[in-house]
Structure 1
Amino acid sequence: MISILLLINEQSCSIQACSEHVLKQALFAGYDKEVRPVKEQSTKINITVVTEIDTILSLNEQDEFIDLIIWTSLTWTDEFLRWNVSDFGNCTFIRTLASNVWQPDVVYLNALDNIPIVSDDIKYVSIDHMGNVNVWHATHSSLRCEMDITQFPFDTQACDIVVGLWSYESNTTLLTLGEKRLNVPTVHMGSSEFETISYHGEANPRPCGALTNESYTELYYTLILKRRPEYYIFVLILPSFLLTSLCIIGIFTPNSHDGERHEKMTLGLTTLLSMAMILNITADAMPKSAKGLPLLETATSSETPRGAYITDGYDLLTQFQPAGARRVFPCFDEPNFKATFDITVQLNGFPDIRTVLSNMPLKENYVDDSLTTQTYKFKRTPIMSSYLVAIAVPLNDYDPVTFTNDGYGTVTMHNVPRQKAKIYGKLVTKSLKAMAKRTGIDYNVEKVDYAGRHASNYAMENWGLVIGSYAPTFFPIHETVHGWFGNMVTCAWWDDIWLNEGFTSYYEVLIAYQIGAYTLSKKLSEFSRLRKSALQKYGNRALHDKFYDAQYLNAPWSAVYLKGPIIIRMFHKALGNRFEPRLFSFLKQNLYKNVNSSLLISSLTKDTEMDERAMLKSFIFNIDAPLIEISYNSESRRFEIGQSPYEFPDDDTKWTVPIWFRRRQGAEEELVWAKAREEASPIQLDDDDYPEDFIFDEQCEAFAVYNIEVNGRSRHLCKPQGSAKRDHLQEHGEYLTESNEASSNFDDNEI
């Protein structure tokens, strides 16, 4: 009995043990590795691809290729390599040589050379009982990598790794992205010149081309490398700077009393030879067919309204503020670098004569002998900042409408519906005359073109060529006023953009009222709306706001459109009839120049009280707004005045605030100052005064909120109510619409 039991036990063990040999013979009997492993021809095989960069051996910049050691994992399902686990002693997977099974012909499509590190003769695949096959390939690959050295030596390079199938179309075999396998710190770098930043992939089906109608799936992996610039700083940049300085020194080195100094000649020759050596080093490091040249940029158009772009109704438009000009041509793209511009536009491949617009009138245009290239040359611009340069090539969906403007050139509306163009033309022509008369400064331009866009909510005051929406009708006056505030006199840096936009927004309202586009009630309600929006949305912004990079200006700019005009309105009221003469004298003294806040304060407060100078400084440089607390003291019969920040009450910021008041309705308006550095003088009541009759800041002209307490009763004045969440461009009121045009002060025969 014992021997029989032992025999049974041995047989039981032999059945439960996994025999890969038996399983392999069963699986591969009749297996054909040359056909796709599917039972139905219509079944697609999904191949999951995972790539892992093990080592970056080198980046050859001159020949533009990168040497890598890449591990690639391929996983797919083979329908002929499935088995029932219980039939083969619970074998769940086996390994076999890769040469025994069908494999997809996955290749690196942009490889110049591809050397397998492990051949199929010794490479194994793993197969589980569900037929899932996995294999890892290790290759030494040389891949094409186009170099972009525009920002050399502070450049970042993007090298593509394109994975695709050589034979199988996407209707039979698909490639899909697996998990991201690059762990940047573990990538071995053969050269320390570059560091790895990121690695990511995406799938992209592509047609084969004209030979067949088939399509293939490709996987694009992008490896981002950033150059470490230290070597080039010390070998190229610093020596170049020093040698250039030596050149300048050599030029101004005085001659000896008996003629030229031999040392001067030696210095010049040595400098030239040194520069030649540096250029040779640079040339050796640069690829001959690189995209771009160092520190130069090629202009390309896009649909993003920055630089040169394409949009509905236009083959080309430009938007250079704040730093878009550098995208189109090499320049010092900052507002304080002003120059004149000779602009020439060439259109290639346009058979018909087109309308081409720029800042100045067209000087000449001609077509070449092949009739395919048109050249448009424009007159020289006034001295202006690069962000004001503009070019537009409209399709003229609407016929241009031109207005003559006595002594002020012509005004032409392009791509604006006729009824809107009629309104816009009147607003621009009247605004030009009104501003010239009010300031005593003529707008130095022969024409004004307005290139209208429907699907936009902005406008740009380019000198002589305004580009912007024709939806809100406040744009024409606003952009016209910019001719004085921004174009002729420009902020030195974007810290003081409020000098451009704040004064423009303020005089936009005044000019609209002056030419009859606003009634008095509309003028007051517009200031009220601006004030409410500024208090609600931009208390955390100062007018003078520090900016160090022009690329990040757009977000806070709305503050100056709202807060700027309200604070300027307060300045105007406080300075009275001294304000405009001093402001316009400031403009005349700085025509075609750049200015800042300090220069404006000095000009406006010359020979004035210290309170007025302190007022300007506190409201220009401080964030928030003051909460003025006025309480009546019945024993002393006077109003006592205090202040605290409105939005940030725990802060200790103080302002010098003008507080206008009347002792009773119809009484003369008086002024008292709430001061930043000392307590405000109280308001003493006369014998016939009643505290309840006092009226404080009747039109809310100070940028402040009031809390007034009289005999135990409190009331709040000039406090914003409701919500103001719309964009500042959408908040502006309409001056004039088609429906009320007939009742306006505009006369059709006047223009």
Structure 2
Amino acid sequence: MHRYDKRVRPNADTAHPVIIHMTIVLGILTEVRENQQVASFVISHVQRWHDPKLQWDPEKYNGLKQVVIPQSLVWVPKLFIYNSMDTKDMLTDDRYDVRVQHTGHVKINIPQFVTSLCRIDIDLFPFDTQFCAVALASPLLSVEEMDVNATQPPKDSYFSGNAEWEVINVTVRQMKFMEDGEYRAEVHYILHLNRRPIYYITVIVVPTFLISALSILGIFSPGSNDGPRNEKVSLGLGSLLAMTVLLDIVAGAMPKSNSIPLLGFYIIVVIMLCAIGVAISMALLGLSRSYIQTEELPSKTAYRLLLLTPTKAMRFNSICPIAPSEKIAGIT
């Protein structure tokens, strides 16, 4: 290799571009930050190309057909992850090795830690799926000098999610983009993520349902004979406060968006139902107190507002019972 110049790309003296065969063989999801709309991965992608200057005759070297040498000794394609907020190589440059075949075929495996931008669609949260890509491109060489041939991950590739997300599929897509009047190569490793909803179901959905059900049942349950009960209104207001806290938890985990996630919509609907129940309970409480003090039936307008008939309205004692001892003295 004493005449080999690693600064010069293969086929530089010809009109043919060097073809880089690329794929991803490892992808481990470490974190998804919805508020910042980024995802972090540990990936390992393989690059292969042919360098005719690295060919030799095995018979002249005791049948040696391949060698493993530091990548700093040979030409290596330069590709950068342009949608990354942070990229860290798992090895330093002097510790990367390449495998060189006697035919001139070169292979390198590049492990990296990548934090890439990932647009999060929260419409179906927490039953959502997301597509996050690691996008690589050539910073300088055009497709006439260096082109890529991206292939799908092999069957023995390894992909894994974390406690909240699972990686259900990984695809590789190649394309070209125009810059400064010339086309350049671009490759996307697209990871299909599916959220595990069990946490949100057990922590938010089920408690919200139980709180709302108990609140509505408590508000409209038959009362005692001790007069109007303010505790029912307090129960409804306490339930509203609890569900507001749960809604705040959901909002804190979601990015700011012009759409409401499915879980947020569910909590808002439940809050509205409980609020309506509290409003009706307060109205019935007011009518009951008015009847206790005056022994006069409320006006027909009050009936219409509560969608009641006078006959049904006389059943107040099932909700806010009237004790004879609470009647105003002098009224018989």
Partner of 1:100: 73
Q: CA deviation at 1:147?
A: 1.0
- 2:120 is paired with a residue whose SS is coil
Partner of 1:165: 138
Q: CA deviation at 1:87?
A: 2.8
**Cα distance per residue 1:582-630 (max 9 Å; x no partner):** xxxxxxxxxxxxxxxxxxxxxxxxxxxxxxxxxxxxxxxxxxxxxxxxx
Between 1 and 2, higher relative CO (CA 8 Å, sep ≥ 6) is seen in 2
Output aligned runs, 1:556-571, within 5 Å: none
Asked if 1:218 corresponds to 2:186, the answer is yes
Q: What one-letter code is carried by the residue in structure 2 that aligns with 1:34?
A: R
**Cα distance per residue 1:518-573 (max 9 Å; x no partner):** xxxxxxxxxxxxxxxxxxxxxxxxxxxxxxxxxxxxxxxxxxxxxxxxxxxxxxxx
Q: CA deviation at 1:176?
A: 1.0
Distance in 2 between the 1:35 and 1:260 partners?
91
Is the 8 Å Cα contact of residues 53 and 68 (structure 1) preserved in structure 2?
no
Q: What one-letter code is carried by the residue in structure 1 that aligns with 2:205?
A: I
Q: What one-letter code is carried by the residue in structure 2 that aligns with 1:139?
A: Q
Asked if 1:76 corresponds to 2:43, the answer is no
**Cα distance per residue 1:123-177 (max 9 Å; x no partner):** 1111111211111111111111111121111111111121222221112111111
Partner of 1:294: 261
Output aligned runs, 1:14-163, within 5 Å: 28-163=1-136
Distance in 1 between the 2:12 and 2:134 partners?
33
Asked if 1:280 corresponds to 2:248, the answer is yes
Aligned in 2, Cα 1:182/1:277: closer, same or farther, shift over 3 Å? farther
Q: CA deviation at 1:183?
A: 5.2
Partner of 1:187: 159
Output aligned runs, 1:385-404, within 5 Å: none
Partner of 1:200: 171
- 2:94 is paired with a residue whose SS is coil
Output aligned runs, 1:253-652, within 5 Å: 253=221, 260-289=228-257, 292-295=259-262
Q: What one-letter code is carried by the residue in structure 2 that aligns with 1:198?
A: N
Partner of 1:357: none
- 2:60 is paired with a residue whose SS is helix
Is the 8 Å Cα contact of residues 164 and 175 (structure 1) preserved in structure 2?
no
Output aligned runs, 1:584-733, within 5 Å: none
Runs of 4+ in 1 over 6 A off after TM superposition: 254-259
Q: What one-letter code is carried by the residue in structure 1 that aligns with 2:159?
A: V
**Cα distance per residue 1:180-233 (max 9 Å; x no partner):** 13657x4343x221222111112111222xxx1111121122211111211111
Distance in 2 between the 1:56 and 1:239 partners?
30
Aligned in 2, Cα 1:149/1:182: closer, same or farther, shift over 3 Å? farther
For this pair of structures, how many residues does the alignment match? 263
Distance in 1 between the 2:126 and 2:152 partners?
33
- 1:224 is paired with a residue whose SS is strand
Partner of 1:723: none
Distance in 2 between the 1:39 and 1:45 partners?
8
Is the 8 Å Cα contact of residues 151 and 172 (structure 2) preserved in structure 1?
no
Distance in 2 between the 1:117 and 1:151 partners?
35
Distance in 1 between the 2:48 and 2:2 partners?
23
Partner of 1:648: none
Aligned in 2, Cα 1:207/1:39: closer, same or farther, shift over 3 Å? closer
Distance in 2 between the 1:32 and 1:279 partners?
63
Q: CA deviation at 1:279?
A: 0.7
Distance in 2 between the 1:256 and 1:247 partners?
17
Q: What one-letter code is carried by the residue in structure 2 that aligns with 1:295?
A: L
Distance in 1 between the 2:66 and 2:40 partners?
35
Distance in 1 between the 2:30 and 2:155 partners?
16
Larger radius of gyration: 1
- 2:122 is paired with a residue whose SS is coil
Alpha-carbon RMSD across the aligned residues, in angstroms, is 2.3
Aligned in 2, Cα 1:39/1:109: closer, same or farther, shift over 3 Å? closer
Q: What one-letter code is carried by the residue in structure 2 that aligns with 1:249?
A: L
Is the 8 Å Cα contact of residues 78 and 139 (structure 2) preserved in structure 1?
yes
Q: What one-letter code is carried by the residue in structure 1 that aligns with 2:147?
A: L
Q: What one-letter code is carried by the residue in structure 1 that aligns with 2:120?
A: M
Aligned in 2, Cα 1:229/1:183: closer, same or farther, shift over 3 Å? farther
- 1:187 is paired with a residue whose SS is strand
Distance in 1 between the 2:239 and 2:12 partners?
77
Q: CA deviation at 1:260?
A: 4.4
Aligned in 2, Cα 1:242/1:183: closer, same or farther, shift over 3 Å? farther
Name the % identity.
Answer: 31
5+ residue gaps, structure 2: 264-332
Partner of 1:177: 150
- 1:170 is paired with a residue whose SS is coil
- 2:249 is paired with a residue whose SS is helix
Aligned in 2, Cα 1:75/1:192: closer, same or farther, shift over 3 Å? same
Q: What one-letter code is carried by the residue in structure 1 that aligns with 2:187?
A: L
Is the 8 Å Cα contact of residues 182 and 199 (structure 1) preserved in structure 2?
no
- 2:252 is paired with a residue whose SS is helix
Q: What one-letter code is carried by the residue in structure 2 that aligns with 1:147?
A: I
5+ residue gaps, structure 1: 1-27, 297-751
Q: What one-letter code is carried by the residue in structure 1 that aligns with 2:260?
A: L
Q: CA deviation at 1:268?
A: 2.1
- 2:193 is paired with a residue whose SS is strand
**Cα distance per residue 1:613-655 (max 9 Å; x no partner):** xxxxxxxxxxxxxxxxxxxxxxxxxxxxxxxxxxxxxxxxxxx
Is the 8 Å Cα contact of residues 159 and 222 (structure 1) preserved in structure 2?
yes
Distance in 2 between the 1:213 and 1:75 partners?
27
**Cα distance per residue 1:636-683 (max 9 Å; x no partner):** xxxxxxxxxxxxxxxxxxxxxxxxxxxxxxxxxxxxxxxxxxxxxxxx
